[in-house]
Amino acid sequence: MSIEIKIPSIGESITEVTLAAWLKESGDYVEEGEILCEIESDKATVELPAESSGILTIADSAEEGAELEIGAVIATLDTSADAPAGGASAPKEDAVPDPVTEAAPASGGDKNYPSPAAKKILDEKGIAADSVSGSGKDGRITKADALSAKGSSASAAAPAPSAPEQVVLSGGVSREKRVEKMTRLRKTIAKRLTEAKNETAMLTTFNEVDMHNVMALRSKYKDAFKDKHDIGLGFMSFFTKACTMALKEVPGVNAQIDGENIVYHDYADVGIAVSTPKGLVVPVVRNAESMSLAQIEKEIRRLALKGRDGKLGIDEMQGGTFTITNGGVFGSMLSTPIINIPQSAILGMHNIVERPVAINGQVVIHPVMYLALSYDHRIVDGKESVTFLKTVKELIEDPSRMLLDI
């Protein structure tokens, strides 16, 4: 009996995906539940498991990098085929031996072998597989190992994604360029940011926040906090908590336009912008208003790790009501973040720099951060935006108003 493997529906608005990588090959015997391939949608990378056990035959149209519609047949499984002796497929010529299912070769038996997806990532980074320590079974290099691997001059030079056009001028000066195809995620980011600029009446208001008190509080309690909650105390949890409190005072900042209606939310699903190897993603901390600082820290860490490894699900990035982005981790002093539509506002955090501050008539040096709130003026008035940002500023400057669960 032969069954068809189709591109599944992975989101209400998603009609097309990119086949990012095959983890199995035609002729492989796969067990039910084994991951066959990775599919890249507009928002996330999804793994496709085998529906049953059998021999895999990949369709000619389902090459890596192919753009396919939902429901397209990408392979078939011959479920009537018996598993080969030892539960492994016969090795193919030039195939990379799999230490999980095959005997190690007579030479190089201590070498770590990457999975197909991991090999693709290592090749793109220009990193030799034998320089990476695998965490998978029998030392197999997993996709996560490849994503976290860092190259060096001793390993290999990063290969150009496409053949560069090189022009060498006199004196050995080179002027080369290369062309890379935009990933589906990058195309979606470009489209959504352009929509936000063109379809909203976006303005930005600024303020500065004295970080002295919150930094002193964090320094005083960080050890006790980590001992009790098994996680570090960062600034993002303070700002997330402050924003949820400010959203209660200024509900318009937590609202959205839906046609001719305004939708207000009595909860705060806060999106936290995360930079990943594939681009910017915004996983959502659900009901952040009801969380303690420790719960917020743990949820942000969980989502950030999944984002780094490309494991975020569609449901984890949809439905946010407000977004926070921290350009300060890259050294940004000041910026105007773009609204994450259909939301009505986004808070931009920046780097912390020691600056002169007037305290009780005296000039002192304190750590200061500039804050930026970009908002849709169609729904948020200037008074509301200023009030929201001022409230966040006051809460951060007097963090005792926010409960520390230690």
The catalytic residues are 377, 381
Neighbours of 215 (CB within 10 A): 16
Q: At what angle do helices 293-308 and 212-229 cross, to 10 degrees?
A: 80
Neighbours of 282 (CB within 10 A): 23
342 preceded by a cis bond (ω within 30 of 0): yes
**In the numeric block, which tokens belong to residue 224?**
């006790």
Integer Cα distance of 156 and 122 in angstroms: 10
Name residue 145's amino acid: D
Q: Are residues 147 and 114 in contact, defined by beta-carbon separation less than 8 angstroms? A: no
Burial class (CB in 10 A: 0-12, 13-18, 19+), 132: buried
| Distance (Å) of CA 185 to CA 18, 43, 278, 281 | 10, 6, 7, 9
